[in-house]
């Protein structure tokens, strides 16, 4: 998709993938802006370069260092994703035979993912399968629940969230308004 207007790109992908036009309303999600200001945060556990918005990247680095001092290893599974990349993830799932309803319980539609903002991270830790609920049973998750807000991060999609998405204990998003002055 070569159109750079995000609203056109979102509509294109919604139509192309067969995502219902009322997706945002049904899932109580608003479209989010793609970050145009990204910096590298290094590689994820798969060796792919990852990036975040600069303020969120600094908060992530500080949080990761603090966790490390406490003996907790936090590893990045995924950070920034463009609208087009998100669409590609959904298309791959469709190609594997998943239904759109199944997909939209685990993946936000293109244009609605917090990953587009450059402020979201999917995390894991050693000896934990990435993007699995079992992450909630790790010391890393317990540490995040106790300390992530000190760095401005929140677990976006908790149990029984109003968005109709599965519980994602691995998904954390930076919210700078959380940090006390």
Q: Do residues 45 and 130 touch, judged by C-beta distance below 8 A?
A: yes
- Which domains are seen in the chain, by residue range? 31-178 (3.30.1380.10)
- As a whole number, mean pLDDT of residues 129-157 equals 97
Q: And the tokens for 181?
A: 């002055």
Beta bridge partner(s), residue 177: none
* Cα dist from 157 to 17, 75, 89, 160, 166, whole Å: 23, 19, 19, 8, 7
Give every CB contact of residue 140 below 8 A, 6+ residues apart in sequence: 67, 72, 73, 74, 123, 124, 125, 128
Ordered alpha helix ranges (H), the chain:
6-17, 23-27, 54-69, 83-95, 100-103, 139-147
> Which residues fall within 8 angstroms of residue 154, CB to CB, at 6 or more apart?
148, 172, 173, 175, 178
* Band (180; pLDDT cuts 50, 70, 90): very low
User: Which tokens sit at 98?
Assistant: 């998943």
pLDDT at position 79 is: 98
pLDDT value of position 4? 60
Single pTM value for the model: 0.91
Per-residue confidence (pLDDT) for residue 181, from 0 to 100:
38
Query: What is the pLDDT averaged over residues 133-145?
Result: 98
Q: What is the pLDDT of residues 19-34, one digit of tens each?
A: 999 999 999 999 999 9
């Amino acid at each position: 998709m070569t159109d750079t207007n995000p609203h056109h790109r979102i509509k294109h992908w919604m139509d192309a993938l067969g995502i219902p036009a009322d997706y945002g309303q049904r899932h109580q999600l608003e479209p989010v802006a793609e970050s145009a200001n990204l910096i590298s945060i290094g590689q994820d556990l798969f060796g792919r370069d990852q990036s975040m918005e600069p303020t969120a990247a600094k908060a992530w680095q500080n949080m990761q260092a603090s966790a490390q001092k406490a003996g907790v290893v936090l590893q990045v599974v995924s950070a920034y994703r463009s609208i087009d990349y998100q669409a590609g993830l959904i298309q791959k799932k469709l190609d594997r035979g998943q239904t759109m309803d199944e997909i939209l319980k685990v993946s936000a539609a293109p244009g609605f993912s917090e990953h587009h903002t450059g402020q979201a991270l999917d995390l894991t830790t050693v000896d934990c399968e990435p993007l699995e609920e079992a992450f909630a049973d790790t010391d890393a998750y317990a540490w995040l629940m106790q300390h992530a807000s000190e760095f401005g991060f929140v677990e976006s999609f908790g149990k029984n969230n109003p968005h109709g998405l599965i519980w994602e204990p691995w998904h954390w998003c930076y919210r700078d308004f959380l940090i006390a002055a």
